Chains A and B, each alone.
Chain A
């Protein structure tokens, strides 16, 4: 979808807009914690919002797919059970979300809506209800963090689609790109706060985008080469084993990654009354794939790591999901306990292929 319209909004008007939104529905925006980190939180007073962040350690996926979510309750009444599916989907606006996370939401939606399988009859009612009630006001990145590499992964620093409004900081005003009908409706509803954008401002945004590309840090992901190697399935086992040796199996990567969304299901309560909930899970855990009685197709850490990278970087998934599974937000770089995060993995895969000795072994396989 192309950009529907360009507008601009003055800084103080933006705050007014957000305050109005906050009074009507839940506004999610970055807030500074006592330790100095910014995290996405529900905000009632827009003065709490911080602009002093590049990307929050947690993507706002918590608001679409909570870490812990009740999905149904059951209660025995006489002989019969009363079972109800609970769908909690308040109207929400996320402000300040970065392009990579917007891409993450788009990717997750492709999966949870059942589009990946062409089975939209199996759309997840919980996720979809929340997604439909969500308005996304994203902010393009002008100063990437040293860990960011979205440029290599089509995940930013500016987007063309996926958002309702995308803001760009032009110092005195914010340029707003309207990316959807929902965004259009928002702009029209609060039209006194917005102004038409001028051509020179649109040009400035284009120029800024080019300038930002210069500012990216030392974590390039050679995604093209990796994608080919993984798709062929001929990465030498030693690479995975060597990565697995350093993996501490914390699972943090999957919890922080905006494109990861696995969960497990738990029943809480007794036979008579209780609820069923889902909780985030990670494919790096041994119990994730273990079958009753002990067999486990992905017992070793190397196997689990291979699986994760396959999901993120194989053509098979690109074909089913419309893009590869990393947007380059750099969160795994921060959270990986064993320093075998995405850029490192990609780098090691690539260097393995440079080494003649691995090449030979790959052929034998």
Chain B
């Protein structure tokens, strides 16, 4: 899709709607060069509403975290360099590494913050120019392919089931649809070992032990008197717990009963990214790439708008030390950019031409709404890199991408499950609610940064969330340091007593992932999905 518009005609540009680049709901909005936005009232998803993240999206216009010019590392320091020279340097470095070690020594990471077209071009670059099969993205964490579905249908829902997903925290617009349906008399069933905000609004809140979550869900669906329009929402939580296989069975059962399921994508263009070819395809998955890099088997990484150190800081740092070359293309001056050998600026959603696909599978156009500030966009950069490497990459026109994009249907395999253990009365569970805390995107805003940092500044070293009643019984004070023991290892963290954790459940936040997985005997990988998982673990807790 070549920019047919005169991109200097500001008057015209700002009349075009664009899409929020945080979660997978895909809200439409009007964006203005003054750093100001208006939710699109006629847009089927936003309907004049945006969440905190959507409103803060305007902050990106003036963010101090913007990467403004291409950077090349010289004598250990990143220095501004011209576009042509930078691309030449990157191309040469990649070419020599490819020729020396072969394409398998190069890893490529795509992004849900980039358009379908950009991801498609990156995929082409990887296959044709770098000749590698190691293509994936950290933004694929937790993704499951699912049926098509439409958010506005929820407005007429009679019954809604939320299966272990905290929509109010993570998919605010979906939560808004649910509350809208409730105000029209729908029934809400929440099946979740936690007490998410929606749990308080539910007609029935089933709070099973995490080990029995899916069984309970299955029983519930079995016995449910399914009406005309019944919907089931689920999200990456299930996948992160390592239950993708079992969950599929539950979803299939739901479908046979006439329930319409929807998988809520965590990130804006997660689905589009996967359909553009960014998923494991015989090569290494995102986690394995870093792991192999750490072992010295991956020599170079090409990262498009992704920032792995926000979730795996330690792993990334170790990998970086061994990497011979790291190229990052990103509009943000993220941690990954700071560690790169070559960094090339990219564009935000409101600056580019292209398309994105939201959780529903809706392909929405992106249009530049502010005049470009950069000489080149990501597609130009990727095509130029391809040329440097001597490969011809086709221009990713809208039609070409539409033709080429494919659903990803991985063969999901079961992973062995942990079993409850009478010696360990609690269950330790991952809580992905604070999914944006500490990420490059959140840090680039003003208001959302402040809000998402509250939890980080209250608990700089993390916390474990325990049910207030349980805490009372065990005489654990709020914020006291507790020791958590599991069959795999033990941890010490401050306790945070709320009602959010169900009885017998201990929650720890996603941003702590690396810290706890290390203490608990290393990261476990779901091979069929190519992603790390954190299975619920039996645990014991006591105040130190």
**In-complex A–B contact (CB below 8 Å):** yes
- For A286, the chain B residues whose CB sits under 8 A away are 451, 454
Q: Does A245 contact B (CB under 8 A)?
A: yes
Cα distance, A337 to B47, chains bound together (Å): 10
Contact yes or no, B458 A294, CB < 8 A: yes
Most central of B54, B183, B446 by chain A CB within 10 Å:
B446
Specify the chain A residue showing the minimal Cβ separation from B450.
A287
Q: Give 1 or 0 for each of B14-37: 1 = CB within 8 Å of chain A CB.
A: 111100000000001010001110
Q: Does B519 contact A (CB under 8 A)?
A: no
Q: Give 1 or 0 for each of A280-292: 1 = CB within 8 Å of chain B CB.
A: 0110011100100
Known: A33-B17, A33-B30. A337 touches B42 (CB 8 A): no
Contact yes or no, B40 A37, CB < 8 A: yes
- For B36, the chain A residues whose CB sits under 8 A away are 62, 66-68
Q: Does B470 contact A (CB under 8 A)?
A: no
- For B183, the chain A residues whose CB sits under 8 A away are 339
Name the one of A41, A245, A337 contacting B201, with C-beta atoms under 8 angstroms.
A245
Q: Which chain B residues (414-454) contact chain A, with CB distance < 8 Å? A: 446-447, 450-451, 453-454
Contact yes or no, A248 B28, CB < 8 A: no
Q: Does B58 contact A (CB under 8 A)?
A: yes
Cα distance, A282 to B52, chains bound together (Å): 10
Q: Which chain A residues (31-66) contact chain B, with CB distance < 8 Å? A: 31-37, 39, 41, 44, 57-58, 62, 66
Q: Does B512 contact A (CB under 8 A)?
A: no
Q: Which chain B residues (38-86) contact chain A, with CB distance < 8 Å? A: 38-43, 47-52, 54-55, 58-59, 61-62, 64
Specify the chain A residue showing the minimal Cβ separation from B47.
A334
Cα distance, A252 to B173, chains bound together (Å): 12
Cα distance, A41 to B52, chains bound together (Å): 24
Q: Does B172 contact A (CB under 8 A)?
A: yes
Cα distance, A228 to B93, chains bound together (Å): 73
B199 to chain A, nearest CB (A): 10
Q: Give the tally of cross-chain contacts (CB within 8 A).
A: 126
Q: Which chain A residues (1-58) contact chain B, with CB distance < 8 Å? A: 31-37, 39, 41, 44, 57-58
- For A225, the chain B residues whose CB sits under 8 A away are none
Cα distance, A336 to B175, chains bound together (Å): 12
Contact yes or no, A248 B451, CB < 8 A: no
Name the one of B17, B35, B47, B64 contacting A67, with C-beta atoms under 8 angstroms.
B35
Known: A250-B172, A335-B39. A268 touches B15 (CB 8 A): no
Cα distance, A41 to B36, chains bound together (Å): 12
Contact yes or no, A255 B55, CB < 8 A: yes
Cα distance, A246 to B49, chains bound together (Å): 15
Name the one of B35, B59, B62, B179 contacting A337, with C-beta atoms under 8 angstroms.
B179
Contact yes or no, B15 A33, CB < 8 A: yes
Q: Does A264 contact B (CB under 8 A)?
A: yes
Name the one of A36, A68, A245, A279 contacting B197, with C-beta atoms under 8 angstroms.
A245
Known: A35-B42, A68-B36, A250-B172. A277 touches B51 (CB 8 A): no
B460 to chain A, nearest CB (A): 12
Q: Does B168 contact A (CB under 8 A)?
A: yes
Cα distance, A34 to B42, chains bound together (Å): 10
Cα distance, A66 to B36, chains bound together (Å): 8
Name the one of A39, A252, A281, A338 contacting B447, with C-beta atoms under 8 angstroms.
A281
- For B34, the chain A residues whose CB sits under 8 A away are 62, 66-68
Contact yes or no, A34 B179, CB < 8 A: no
B454 to chain A, nearest CB (A): 6
- For B16, the chain A residues whose CB sits under 8 A away are 33-34
Contact yes or no, B62 A290, CB < 8 A: no
A124 to chain B, nearest CB (A): 19
Known: A36-B42, A286-B454. A337 touches B51 (CB 8 A): yes
Cα distance, A260 to B346, chains bound together (Å): 35
Q: Does A251 contact B (CB under 8 A)?
A: yes
Contact yes or no, A250 B454, CB < 8 A: no
Q: Give 1 or 0 for each of A317-351: 1 = CB within 8 Å of chain B CB.
A: 00000000000000000111111000000000000
Known: A264-B447, A268-B64. A245 touches B200 (CB 8 A): yes
Contact yes or no, B11 A44, CB < 8 A: yes
Known: A39-B30, A264-B446. A34 touches B176 (CB 8 A): no
Name the one of A37, A251, A277 contacting B41, with C-beta atoms under 8 angstroms.
A37
Cα distance, A339 to B47, chains bound together (Å): 13
Q: Does B180 contact A (CB under 8 A)?
A: yes
B459 to chain A, nearest CB (A): 10
Contact yes or no, A252 B55, CB < 8 A: yes
- For A33, the chain B residues whose CB sits under 8 A away are 15-17, 30, 40
Specify the chain B residue showing the minimal Cβ separation from A255.
B55
Q: Does A114 contact B (CB under 8 A)?
A: no
Cα distance, A250 to B52, chains bound together (Å): 4
Contact yes or no, A68 B58, CB < 8 A: yes
Q: Does A297 contact B (CB under 8 A)?
A: no
Q: Which chain B residues (439-496) contact chain A, with CB distance < 8 Å? A: 446-447, 450-451, 453-454, 457-458
Contact yes or no, A337 B49, CB < 8 A: yes
Specify the chain B residue showing the minimal Cβ separation from A331.
B48
Contact yes or no, B179 A246, CB < 8 A: yes
- For B197, the chain A residues whose CB sits under 8 A away are 245, 248
A159 to chain B, nearest CB (A): 25
Contact yes or no, B61 A68, CB < 8 A: yes
- For B35, the chain A residues whose CB sits under 8 A away are 66-68
Q: Does A142 contact B (CB under 8 A)?
A: no
Q: Does A269 contact B (CB under 8 A)?
A: yes
Name the one of B40, B179, B447 contacting A339, with C-beta atoms under 8 angstroms.
B179
A33 to chain B, nearest CB (A): 5
Cα distance, A252 to B58, chains bound together (Å): 13
Contact yes or no, A334 B41, CB < 8 A: yes
A351 to chain B, nearest CB (A): 14
Q: Does A266 contact B (CB under 8 A)?
A: yes
Cα distance, A33 to B18, chains bound together (Å): 12
Cα distance, A357 to B537, chains bound together (Å): 45
Contact yes or no, A285 B39, CB < 8 A: no
Contact yes or no, A334 B451, CB < 8 A: no
Known: A68-B34, A339-B183. A249 touches B58 (CB 8 A): no
A13 to chain B, nearest CB (A): 25
Cα distance, A279 to B55, chains bound together (Å): 11
Q: Which chain B residues (245-259) contact chain A, with CB distance < 8 Å? A: none
A245 to chain B, nearest CB (A): 5
Cα distance, A294 to B453, chains bound together (Å): 12
Contact yes or no, A252 B50, CB < 8 A: yes
- For A339, the chain B residues whose CB sits under 8 A away are 176, 179-180, 183
Name the one of B30, B41, B42, B49 contacting A336, with C-beta atoms under 8 angstroms.
B49
Specify the chain B residue showing the minimal Cβ separation from A68.
B35
Contact yes or no, B41 A57, CB < 8 A: yes
Cα distance, A30 to B11, chains bound together (Å): 13
A310 to chain B, nearest CB (A): 22
Contact yes or no, B179 A252, CB < 8 A: no
Specify the chain A residue showing the minimal Cβ separation from B35.
A68
- For A282, the chain B residues whose CB sits under 8 A away are 447
Cα distance, A37 to B39, chains bound together (Å): 10
Which 6 A-B residue pairings sit nearest by Cβ, starting from the closest? A68-B35, A337-B176, A67-B36, A287-B450, A334-B48, A35-B42
Q: What are some 10 contacts across the A-B interface (CB < 8 A)?
A: A35-B17, A57-B48, A248-B51, A248-B168, A248-B172, A248-B197, A250-B50, A269-B64, A287-B451, A287-B454
Chain A residues within CB distance 8 Å of chain B: 31-37, 39, 41, 44, 57-58, 62, 66-68, 245-246, 248-252, 255, 264, 266, 268-269, 277, 279, 281-282, 285-287, 290, 294, 334-339
Q: A37-B38, A66-B35, A338-B179 given. 9 additional CB < 8 A pairs?
A: A33-B17, A34-B16, A35-B40, A248-B175, A250-B49, A269-B64, A285-B52, A287-B454, A339-B176
